Amino acid sequence: MIPRPEEWKLFKIRLQHGAELPPLVINGLDNVETRHSVQRLWPGVLIDMASGGPTAQVIVKRKQSQGICLLRALTVPPTELGYAERLSRAIGLATDRILNNPTSPILQADVEAAPAGLRSELERARLNQELICGRITAYNLGRAGDHAEFAPAAPFIAGLAGAVAAAETLKVLLDDRSDQTHHFQYDARSNKTRSLRMVCSPDCECQRGAAA
């Protein structure tokens, strides 16, 4: 396994150029837009683990099952910034350039269109002949310790989500062929867990994806 310090949208490009989609994909992501994007890969099994505040949740979506997928289980919060908008605010590149031309060089026009406070750094990247994807990765690496706005769940809550996800992973690796979707939830305030059996509607994208 090779760790790659890059945005999901940039890593996803690799799937178009030689990287293979494994039959089992495990999520531990902190925004809904990205989790929806991973779901749309339609892997054989997707294990999504999440924790926040006093709650933990794990969803196992099997491609051939009618169980609920992440597209229906998770709604993008109105306060969540999209991938391109978040990076546009941080590094000054236009959202359409981030979305549509991530592997192209930074141009003089990009620098001129950037907010005044971000132009000098973007110009430095242009002079170094950096690609847009390289500038994004460099920005993320440079702020690795800057997470003041991030409030993690309590360690035991995150650990519980990880343990449940690990158990589900083991079941898949042991060739459990169940077509059931597992939807686990825990709330430390009541110290109760529940296992839901929710299904997607026949017109959900996941049902079309399962047939692909």
Which residue's entry shows tokens 């999440």? 50
CATH class of 8-79+151-211: alpha beta
**All structural domains of the chain with their residue ranges:** 8-79+151-211, 83-142
pLDDT in tens, 47-80: 999 998 899 999 999 988 888 999 999 999 999 9
- Cβ atoms of 47 and 24 within 8 Å: the answer is yes
pLDDT in tens, 71-123: 999 999 999 999 999 999 999 999 999 999 999 999 999 999 999 999 999 99
Supply the pLDDT for residue 42. Answer: 92
Terminal-residue alpha carbon distance, the chain: 27
Whole-structure pTM value: 0.84
- Cβ atoms of 91 and 139 within 8 Å: the answer is yes
Which residue's entry shows tokens 């990880």? 162
Supply the pLDDT for residue 33. Answer: 94
Tell me the β-bridge partners of 58: 49, 184
Q: At 115, is the secondary structure helix, strand, or coil?
A: coil
Torsion from C-alpha of 134, 137, 143, 147, nearest 10 degrees: 150
Q: Interhelix angle for 116-127 vs 83-91, to 10°?
A: 90
Higher pLDDT: 17 or 127? It is 127
Q: Cα separation of 136 and 142, whole Å?
A: 10
Supply the pLDDT for residue 144. Answer: 47
Tell me the β-bridge partners of 25: 46
Rg, the chain, Cα only: 20
